[in-house]
Amino acid sequence: MLRLAVLISGSGTDLQSIIDHRNQINGEIALVISNRKNAYGLQRAQDAGIKNLVIKNQDELLNTLKEEKIDFIVLAGYLAILGKELIDTYQNKIINIHPSLIPSFCGPGMYGLHVHEAVLKRGVKVSGATVHFVSEEVDGGPIIWQEAVSIADLDTPEDIQKRVLEVEHKILPEVVQWICDGKVVLEKGRVKIR
Ligand SMILES: Nc1nc2c(c(=O)[nH]1)N[C@@H](CN(C=O)c1ccc(C(=O)N[C@@H](CCC(=O)O)C(=O)O)cc1)CN2
Ligand SMILES: NCC(=O)N[C@@H]1O[C@H](COP(=O)([O-])[O-])[C@@H](O)[C@H]1O
């Protein structure tokens, strides 16, 4: 059974979606780590009986992940850019959920509401969410799964965020379950679900 660490920075609704599905997931949410002490996701972890820590320094983060014998890392609204050492140590063992259909509206500076503000400004009629492997290139890692959603009837970034979060809360636990079941295969930079 994989020992999972979920990294957060904020309210933790993506984390909660994994917690809510943990009985279907053949992995243990062993640790929740936030880089912000006021992240409500820490309370969600506490309420679920999951060990939770605040760690801002990436060297300390990597040491803690090793000490806790973490096998796989899920970035769930984690708003810091991971460095080369951590990514090399956990190569193809880190996933991230992003609130757009990558390669659109992603990369440095594209996080949280900023994404949906850019989506609204551009006037696209479809958005969605993407789960991808994490590489040194921000949001540039191999795409694992995506789901689109119509936003043609929405007029504010907050409404778009709300609708996209519904998709996030569906696909993130699904992908975590597939990973824990060994169904996610990366071949020549392209992901297949067995
Ligand atoms: N090396 C990588 N690190 C991270 C990745 C990645 O793919 N490779 N994914 C991001 C998650 N993310 C979008 O999905 C993302 C997070 C944060 C930022 C960003 O610009 N952050 C700001 C600071 C924000 C803050 O602290 O308020 C910044 O670093 O200047 C962009 C994309 C997680 N890490
Ligand atoms: N680029 C990363 C990024 O923007 N991540 C986004 O932060 C939000 C976290 O919400 P949560 O704290 O309620 O899970 C989610 O919408 C997630 O896609």
Residue numbers in the chain where pLDDT is lower than 70? none
* Model pLDDT for residues 148-193, shown as the tens digit of each residue: 999 999 999 999 999 999 999 999 999 999 999 999 999 999 999 9
The answer, yes or no, to whether any atom of ligand 2 lies below 6 A from the CB of 74, is no
Confidence (pLDDT) at 82: 97
Domain count, the chain: 1
Query: Which pair of structure tokens corresponds to residue 184?
Result: 């996610």
The DSSP annotation for 116-184 comes to: HHHHHHHT-SEEEEEEEE--SSTT-SPEEEEEEEE-TT--SHHHHHHHHHHHHHHHHHHHHHHHHTT-E
Catalytic residues, by residue number, are 98
For atom 26 of ligand 1, the residue with the nearest CA is 79
Confidence (pLDDT) at 46: 98
Range of the domain at 141: 2-193
Confidence (pLDDT) at 42: 98
Confidence (pLDDT) at 85: 98
List the CATH number of the domain containing 110: 3.40.50.170
State which of 8, 14, 96, 113 you would mutate to test the pocket of ligand 2, scoring each by most atoms of that ligand within 8 A of its C-beta.
14
Q: Where is 85: in which H helix or E strand? A: helix 84-89
Confirm whether pTM is higher than 0.90.
yes
